[in-house]
Amino acid sequence: MKVLVIGLGGVTNGGKTTLAEKLKDMLPNCDIISQDDFFKPESEVETDERGFKLYDVLDALYMDEMVTSIRNWMKSPASSGVVTEEPENTCDNLKNVYILIVEGFLLYNYEPLNELWNRRYFLTLPYEECKRRRSTRVYQPADTPGYFDGHVWPMYLKYKNELEENTSMQVDYLDGTKSQEELLSYLYSDIIQELNKLRE
């Protein structure tokens, strides 16, 4: 049995969740873990001097629990409830390969996660487009006035800069303004190449 762990990270509203869901439908034995499921309750998230809840930082997340969930999945992917294809529909050489897509906005800035990835993708968006998309979404708790400019965008830039400075880390940057079809097609063929390497 072999496992492939794919990181799909990057900017808020970059299309990560949608791409992960579509890839799951296209790939054999594929499962998703979403970083959003590991947010601490609002009462445990720090507030800064401007009254902004600091959600876009690692401290707002139960990162250790997230690492444990991924490791548990890697130990026994078949027991995670992942839907396995009927053997006759799957090429023989893919039967024992399981794929986990981990999607989230802060995947590569937490050291214990970095030894787990087979591939790292990072979706980017220009400021205006990101702000426009974010304004169409409803969050719990809701974004307060000035939150995007005061917290969300600066944190995205901070973590992205950290990544770009870490030259030892291989990250594939993707333009989130491209169509879902184009991004999906690229990701799918890249992951299939990675699967082929695993099987060799």
Pairing of strands 2-10, 119-124: parallel
Q: What's the start-to-end Cα distance of the chain, in Å? A: 13
Q: Which residues of 28-46 are buried (b: 16+ CB within 10 A; e: fewer)?
A: bbbbbbbbeebeeeeeebe
* Closest to 90 measured CA to CA, from 186, 199, 190, 11: 199
Residues 6+ apart with CB under 8 A from 158: none
CA distance 64 to 137: 28
Dihedral Cα 158, 69, 3, 96, nearest 10 deg: -150
- Is 36 noted as a catalytic residue in this protein? yes
Q: Single out the catalytic residue among 25, 31, 36, 37.
A: 36
Q: Please, where are the H alpha helices in the chain?
A: 16-26, 63-75, 111-114, 127-135, 147, 153-165, 180-199
Active site residues: 36
